[in-house]
Chain A
Amino acid sequence: MIYNSKRLYLFFLAACIAGYGWIFYNFQGMQSGNLAPDVCLIKRMAHIPCPSCGSSRAVLALVQGHFVQSFYINPIGFIIALIMLIAPIWILRDFTRTERTLLKFYQSIEVLLKRPTWSIPLLLMLLANWIWNIAKGL
């Protein structure tokens, strides 16, 4: 658990920048016809997609407004897009008001995810998504 607020905010900021950079790179690649290379280690080594494979494509579909298509590629794209949209605004809000609401929210989510009532259903959903990914052959 990250207790240090500065580290958490820096981590979120770096992750958002990397995410936006990656999406922008993929978006440009898609328009020029050069698809980005596969970065997933599991897919490279085992030749089967991981549970979150295809989420870049799903977010790209969301950017273009294809909501249904995005869901069919990978539903995790919605979660990633939501985090990428909210996190920078939240960080900016906390920074201007000198509060630590994001840190508190992160810690409460971590506690919640450790409870079996939350973790087991989420794990099952993830497994189902993984099986669907393999069946789709992403």
Chain B
Amino acid sequence: MDAQKVDLFLMTNGKYFESHQLLHIRDRLLQMEDTKWGILQTIQFKDPTIILIVSLLGGGLGIDRFMIGDTGLGVGKLLTCGGFGIWTIIDWFLIMGITREKNLAELQQVLY
């Protein structure tokens, strides 16, 4: 794919991924066929900051986990008062990284 398009994509969507993954994503996108550009533009990534806010407010009910698609773990968190409160606090620190991983997994479905 055109380097200009790839850079445009990374400029607008770079914040949804881990910084160390960006170089790898760029290489992959450059190798990608031009026809996939349309599909790539339609992917809706989850904003890690929004998920963090949700985690701070509704983490005790597992809403953050439900939002990123971890329904099973969300139910687990919901049924145990947020994992006795401990899991809620741990997730405040982990949820942004997990969201970025989920975004990468979503991108990989288009890439491969």
Task: Name the B residues within 8 Å of A50 (CB-CB).
Answer: 60-61, 81-82
Size category of the A interface is 20 to 34
By the criterion CB–CB under 8 Å, are A106 and B84 in contact?
Answer: no
How many chain B residues touch the partner (CB < 8 A)? 20
Q: Quick check: is A22 within 8 A (CB to CB) of the other chain?
A: yes
From A2, A51, A52, A76, B73 is in contact (CB under 8 Å) with A2
Task: Name the A residues within 8 Å of B75 (CB-CB).
Answer: 113
| Besides the known contacts A39-B86, A50-B60, A110-B72, 18 further A-B residue pairs in the complex with CB atoms under 8 A apart | A2-B70, A18-B84, A39-B81, A39-B84, A40-B60, A41-B59, A41-B60, A41-B82, A42-B61, A42-B81, A44-B85, A50-B81, A50-B82, A51-B78, A52-B78, A53-B81, A55-B81, A113-B71
Which B residues are within 8 Å of any A CB, using their own CB?
59-61, 69-73, 75-76, 78-82, 84-86, 88-89
Total cross-chain contacts (CB, 8 A): 60
